[in-house]
Structure formats: C-alpha cells, structure tokens
Structure 1
Amino acid sequence: MKRIILFFFLSISVILSNQAQDLFFQVKVDASAANTSETRVFTNMENSFSQFINDTKWITEEVELYERMKGLMAINITGIPRTSRYQAQMQVQSVRPIYNSNYESVMINIADRNLNFDFTESQPLIYTQNSFNDNLVSILAFYANFLLGMDFDSFSELGGQQYYEEAFNIARSANQQGFGAGWKPFENLESRYALIQSALNSQLEPVRIALYLYYRKGLDMMEEDPEAARKSIIMALENIQKANKLNPNSPFITLLLQTKAEEIISIFTEGDMNTRRKAYEIMREISPANSERYEVMIK
C-alpha cells in the first residue's frame, strides 16, 4: 500500500496539467488479497470511482488552480461475499501545496478499515444532495466533503463549514438508512460518523482555526519569514493543546496528530531553540506516547 501511495504522489502532477475539475484524486483498487482471478471489474471500479470523485462538482465557488485539492484513494479489496458485494479497506489522503515552494503537505491520512459496498459495472455513480444515496456513493461523497472542509479551513478561518456540514448530513442519512459499518455514532472512534461529529464539536473549533494558523500563516509564510511562520505554527499547536484538554482522544485530533507528527518534527529541528522547545513541550503533552520521537526537536 505504501508503494502505491508513493507512486501516486510522484505521478499526480502529470494529471494536474490535463484536468480542470474541483478535485484531483488518484484512485487505485487492489484486489490481490481477495483471492479472485477477475480483473476487469476492478479496472472498471477504479475508473468509475475516479470519474465520480473528479467529475462531480463539489465546490460552490470558483477556485484557482493552486487551491484545488489533490489526494488519493487506495482501496484494498479483502473479500467478495457474494456477486457485486465487496469488503474492503481504504486509505484516503489529501495534500495541500505550500506557497513559494515545490512542497506538498499531507493534510490528513485516514485509514477506513471497514468498507462494505455493492458495485455494479453498468450502474453510474451519481451524488444528489439532500436525497437518497446508496452506501458506496455516500462513502465517496463523505470523504470528498470532509477533506474539502479541511482544505478550505486551511485557507481561511473556519472556511470549510459548509463542507463539514454536508459530510455530517451524509453520515446522518447513512446511519438513518441503516447502512451499518462506519456510520454508527457510537460504533468506535474510527467510524466516519464519529470523525465528522468530532470535527463539528464546538469545543474543537480551535483545532479548525489551527489549520489556518498552521498552513496559511505558517507553512505558506515559511519561505518569506521562517521564524514568524514557526511562531504561527506554535499558536496552532497551542490551539490543539487547548482543545485536547477538553476532548482527550477526539478522533479528529488523534488523526491530525498522527498525520502531522513527522512534519512538525521536521519544522522544529531548525530555528530558535526557545520556539523549538515550546513545540516539543506541547507535542509531548498532547501525544505522550510519542515523546521520544520529539526529542530530536531540542537537540
């Protein structure tokens, strides 16, 4: 799976030059673990998912090319309990380009280990807001909206609200329709419902503001003023620290910290030692299990 993801990020810039949709996602379906000799259906599945994600109009306003969200969906088919029914695991990532650099920052890395869906080759995937959508369409649309919420939050304070709300509407509808795995409010901390419920929790609003401080006031300014950028990222970490005290083990915070740990370490292995030490102390408090990893920040 990791090799697939690396390949996607190396090749995705080629795709960007040839497309002009709201999203630029690579989709890969791997059925090697499903013990089947069938290949055509998975090629069609891959194409169908990619077309749905990239051709649907998700964004209400026009955005510049550099603002369009890129990412990937790597789907591993683990079982085929009956014709047209699939069990799978999926890894979803979105990346954000950083101003004045060639660097692309991974915003979130989500492992969805509990996918069950029906797929028929001849049936198009169509998403309709405020209407019935089947489980597969709901899963894909949920992640498109959730990731857009994070992306828009990184460009303006709480700018992704409408996309988070749409993701929540999808999760609530899927739960009400009894789609099962991944949609139950109290199923587990990894459920889609739990994730979006966490992101929209008013007590976690500082975390969403942290995305703006981290990206627009932080990484985007790193080339121009590295120390000011690091101080803004410290403010972002303080926001997360504050929210984490009120909501320990929040799915949104947990996922964000897991995704950003290595990047944060990289940011604070340089610069003013007082700033680096502050970052180290915050990370050690909000992610104590990884304390040893952060020690390089103050060496």
Structure 2
Amino acid sequence: MKLTLILFLLAPLLLVGQSEINWTVNLNTQQITQTDRRVFETLEKDLAIFLNGRTWTNDRFEPEERIDATIFLTITEQTEKNSQDGEQVIPNRYSGTLAIQTSRPIYGTGEVTPILNYQDKNISFGYEQFAAIQLSEQSYTSELSSLMGFYAYLVLGLDYDTFSPMGGQPYYEQAQEIYNRLPSAVANSPGWSSGNKSNNRSFLLENLLSPRMVPVRRALYTYHRLGLDQMLTDPVAGRNNITLAIEDVQAANQSYPSSALVQSFVDAKRDEIVEIYKGATGPEQNAVIQMMSRIDPSKSGDYRLIRSSGPATSRGTTINRGPNGRQ
C-alpha cells in the first residue's frame, strides 16, 4: 500500500523528465577486443538514460508525439596519444563513427517519412564507467554530453522546421551555444573544427544557420506540411508542393554547392522521391529527374527509376506538437 502511494506521488515527477525524442541507442564495439565488454554495456545504458531522461524544449509532448530517433554508434578504436614514454593507450577514450536516423509521421496514414539520415565520421570522446553523462546550459561538461546534446537539438530543429516555417531556429541556436562552449582543444578537433569543411558538425550547423540555406529549410516545411501531409486528401496538390520544395533545394544547391544540409536532405529523401513521382505525369517526372540529378549527381541513375510503372506511395499521421506553429 505504501509503495503504491509513493509511486502515485512520484509519477508526475517521473514524467517531467521524459525526452521529446524517443531515442534508440545501438552500440557496435566489435572492433575493440582489449576492453572489458561491461564498459560498453554501461555506456549504451548511460546514453539511453541521458537522451531519453532529459527534456529539451518548453513544449509538452504526449507519448505518441515523441520524435523517433535512432543512433548507431560504432567504436573503432581506443585513442592513443604521445606521452613521455611514447605511444600510450588511454583506456577510457574512444573514437569511431555515429549515424543518426529520424522520422516524422505523415497526416492520415500509419506511416512515417525520414527526416534525417546522417553519418558523422569523426567521433571522439572520453567515458568513465558509472560516471553520469551530464550537460550544462551554462558551461562545458564533456565531449560526450556536448556531442549528444548537439545532435538532440539538431534533431529537434529539423523536426520543428517540418511543422512550421523556420520553426527549428531556437534549437539550432541551442546547438550553436553548445559549440561555443567547447574548449579550444575540442573545438579544433576534426569532428568540430570550423576550418574543416568535410561534412563535420560545425559545417552542418553553419549550413543550418546560413541565409543561403533558407530555401532548404523552407523546403522542409513545404515538402512535409504542404506536400506529404496533403497527399491523402489532394495528392496532386501535395505532389505539386513537393516539386516546389525540390526547386528550393535545387536553388540552394546552386547558391551553395556541396553543402552538408543539401546532402543530408537527399540522403533522407532519395528513395521516397522516386516512389512519390512514379505516379506523376510524364512532364512532372522529367522535371524532377532533371532537378534531382543536378542536386544528387552521383545517384542520378536512381532517379530514372521514377519512370517505372506503379502508383506513388506516401508514408505516415501528423500530430499536434506544442503551441509554436506545429499544428
């Protein structure tokens, strides 16, 4: 009886800490052989607790409204550094790659559409087993919490951009604050360095905040809210709006070639665009094939599959998320 009463009283407090993002964490450590495997089991659990146990916005999300996000963290090595005795293995420091995939529901269906499909090839962090992962809004705490907090705010920003025009701005600015708090040694590392334009975190963030990339962010809203969300009731109008979104992405690509944001968009949407336009008219198909082949030239052959016979498919159920235009 007493236990039931305690749980009843604590329930509201437990719900307060639930993340707006439903994170799934997958850890791959097959390439590491010299470390106690229990360290990685603890790391995977700590990451899930940190990401899912923290609220990132002031909006209230119902359980069914949470954003689905999956992290694939592959640890490839223990970092080595020079010491007075030569090369020395630091057992609690690791490096590898990180892939993130997120999705959003589509109005009136039981399916979802991919929003982010991104791979970070320069992950490096320290981790002490049983030391809680913490993120401060005032000061730098650790590389690992900064890394995860950075991507959490990017995931939120991209999701909010699909529900309202430029709705993700506050969350990109939060990611910028995390970057600004990094100590110089961390900020100058390959994964963060602003001087490294090879698709790292700083470059992706710069894209999201750049005026030249406003057409892509506008396209996120047009593609999803005015396009996919309308496909159930008016597929022709919905597809026309998706075409307008692709035109915006093409304009941004011409203004800012080889941008990380454009590449992230096509990596997430390539297969979906092919399926959507299989049911379009010949002129629509030709226009989209030409545009996507310019935007995503290495995959131009994929877009020719649009001419295959068969109806267009849509994926997902929109939801109302908070008061900031996400209706």
Give the corresponding residue for 1:88.
Answer: 96
Task: Give 1 or 2 for the bigger CA radius of gyration.
Answer: 2
| 3-state DSSP of counterpart to 1:218 | helix
TM-score by length of 2: 0.82
1:244 offset after TM fit, Å? 1.0
| 3-state DSSP of counterpart to 1:232 | helix
Say if 2:143 and 2:186, in contact at 8 Å, map to a contact too: no
| 3-state DSSP of counterpart to 1:289 | helix
Q: Return 5+ residue gaps in structure 2 as ranges.
A: 1-16, 80-89, 309-327
Say if 1:230 and 1:275, in contact at 8 Å, map to a contact too: no
Give the corresponding residue for 2:288.
Answer: 279
1:169 offset after TM fit, Å? 1.8
Pick one of 264, 286, 301 that aligns with 1:255. Answer: 264
| Distance in 1 between residues matched to 2:305 and 2:95, nearest whole Å | 41
| 3-state DSSP of counterpart to 2:226 | coil
How big is each residue's C-alpha offset from its partner over 1:125-182, in whole Å with a ceiling of 9 and x where there is no partner? 1112132221111000000001110000000000000001111222232264534231
- Give the AA of the match of 1:38: D
| Residues 118, 20 of structure 1: alpha-carbon distance in 2 compared, 3 angstrom cutoff | closer
| Residues 133, 104 of structure 1: alpha-carbon distance in 2 compared, 3 angstrom cutoff | same
Q: Return 5+ residue gaps in structure 1 as ranges.
A: 1-18
| Residues 155, 66 of structure 1: alpha-carbon distance in 2 compared, 3 angstrom cutoff | farther
1:257 offset after TM fit, Å? 1.2
Give the corresponding residue for 1:129.
Answer: 137
Give the corresponding residue for 2:152.
Answer: 144
Q: Which has the higher contact order (CA 8 A, sep 6+)?
A: 2
Identity, % of aligned pairs? 29
Give the corresponding residue for 2:26.
Answer: 28
Is 1:218 matched with 2:216? Answer: no
Give the corresponding residue for 2:85.
Answer: none
| Distance in 2 between residues matched to 1:120 and 1:250, nearest whole Å | 36
| Distance in 2 between residues matched to 1:198 and 1:68, nearest whole Å | 26
- Give the AA of the match of 1:183: W
1:289 offset after TM fit, Å? 2.4
Give the corresponding residue for 2:121.
Answer: 113
Residues 11-26 of structure 1 correspond to what in structure 2 (within 5 A)? 21-26=19-24
Give the corresponding residue for 1:79.
Answer: 77
- Give the AA of the match of 1:25: W
How big is each residue's C-alpha offset from its partner over 1:52-105, in whole Å with a ceiling of 9 and x where there is no partner? 111111012123444421111111111123221111211111111112112111
Residues 180-191 of structure 1 correspond to what in structure 2 (within 5 A)? 180-191=189-200
- Give the AA of the match of 1:68: R
Say if 1:30 and 1:76, in contact at 8 Å, map to a contact too: yes
| Distance in 2 between residues matched to 1:37 and 1:178, nearest whole Å | 25
| Distance in 1 between residues matched to 2:183 and 2:265, nearest whole Å | 24
Residues 231-250 of structure 1 correspond to what in structure 2 (within 5 A)? 231-250=240-259
1:298 offset after TM fit, Å? 3.1
| Distance in 1 between residues matched to 2:183 and 2:212, nearest whole Å | 24
Pick one of 36, 48, 55 that aligns with 1:57. Answer: 55
